């Protein structure tokens, strides 16, 4: 089966997630198939967005989301062309109704963000910079399971991953720069948690 063409906007990514699968539960495999297994930006964006939404309150979501973000980030760092996830992650599923509610919650912000992003300073989302983004997202992913014990902390971390992912989708270097700055705030949150 051919991969889907890479989505170019946040709204398109969300539309594809909404249309994934056909049953009452939507699996990670079905979401990956809907956005394409070669699409690093959209695939990073999926767990990032879902962890920013009310789905982040589901027990274990931070751990599963962190694992998915971590594996995709490793592929990005290594410059792989196709993303592979283990079967135990691909088979994880969420009720369609809960997924629909989460995406509906995000829709107003999504429309605003799509109007603000643009293709600019795209070199900041390519080559060595793309690999740096992968390293940062991998580091964030490593802290997501233990941070699950602290309310809203994973949402803040996922928001940073989402900024990086959206920068990759839109080839928006300015957005990538904002995400690099947001990483500092996430780092401070982690330090506050583990050192103080």
Q: How many CB atoms lie within 10 A of CB 33?
A: 17
User: Is residue 45 within 8 Å of residue 10, measured between CB atoms?
Assistant: yes
pLDDT surpasses 50 at 2: no
> What mean pLDDT comes out for the span 115-143?
91
pLDDT surpasses 90 at 113: no
When pLDDT is cut at 50, 70 and 90, the band that residue 194 belongs to is: low
Among the ranges given (21-25, 38-42, 59-63, 99-103), the one the predictor scored with the smallest mean pLDDT: 38-42
b (16+ CB within 10 A) / e for 90-103 = bebbbebebbeebb
Q: What pLDDT score was predicted for residue 195?
A: 64
Among the ranges given (27-36, 52-61, 131-140), the one the predictor scored with the smallest mean pLDDT: 52-61
Q: 136: buried, middle or exposed (CB in 10 Å: 19+, 13-18, 0-12)?
A: buried
> What mean pLDDT comes out for the span 47-57?
81
Q: What pLDDT score was predicted for residue 132?
A: 94
Phi, psi of 27 (to 5 degrees): -90, 160
> What mean pLDDT comes out for the span 11-22?
85
Question: pLDDT: is 10 or 7 the higher one?
Answer: 10
pLDDT in tens, 69-112: 999 999 999 988 788 888 988 998 888 998 888 888 888 888 88
Question: pLDDT: is 6 or 97 the higher one?
Answer: 97
Q: What pLDDT score was predicted for residue 137?
A: 95
Nearest to 94 by CA among 150, 30, 44: 30
Q: Where are the beta strands (DSSP E) in the chain?
A: 25-27, 93-95
Q: Which two tokens stand for residue 53?
A: 């939404």
User: Is residue 110 within 8 Å of residue 10, measured between CB atoms?
Assistant: yes
Residue 127, classed as helix, strand or coil, is helix
User: Is residue 86 within 8 Å of residue 64, measured between CB atoms?
Assistant: no
Residue with tokens 């309150």: 57
Q: What pLDDT score was predicted for residue 123?
A: 92
User: Is residue 158 within 8 Å of residue 115, measured between CB atoms?
Assistant: no
User: Is residue 47 within 8 Å of residue 89, measured between CB atoms?
Assistant: no
> What mean pLDDT comes out for the span 132-139?
94
pLDDT surpasses 70 at 3: no
pLDDT in tens, 163-176: 999 999 889 999 99
N-terminal to C-terminal alpha carbon distance within the chain: 51
Please tell me the pTM assigned to this model: 0.83
């Amino acid at each position: 089966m051919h991969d889907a063409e890479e989505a170019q906007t946040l709204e398109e990514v969300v539309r594809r997630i909404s249309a994934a699968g056909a049953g009452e539960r939507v699996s990670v495999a079905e979401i990956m198939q809907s956005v394409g297994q070669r699409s690093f930006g959209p695939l990073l964006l999926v767990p990032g967005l879902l962890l920013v939404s009310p789905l982040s309150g589901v027990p274990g979501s931070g751990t599963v989301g962190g694992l998915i973000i971590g594996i995709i980030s490793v592929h990005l760092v290594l410059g792989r062309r196709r993303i592979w996830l283990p079967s135990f992650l691909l088979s994880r599923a969420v009720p369609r109704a809960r997924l629909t509610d989460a995406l509906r919650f995000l829709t107003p912000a999504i429309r605003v963000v799509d109007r603000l992003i643009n293709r600019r300073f795209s070199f900041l989302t390519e080559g060595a910079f793309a690999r740096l983004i992968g390293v940062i997202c991998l580091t964030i992913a490593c802290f997501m399971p233990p941070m699950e014990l602290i309310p809203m902390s994973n949402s803040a971390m996922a928001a940073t991953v989402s900024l990086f992912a959206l920068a990759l989708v839109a080839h928006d270097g300015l957005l990538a720069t904002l995400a690099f700055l947001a990483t500092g705030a996430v780092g401070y949150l982690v330090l506050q948690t583990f050192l103080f």
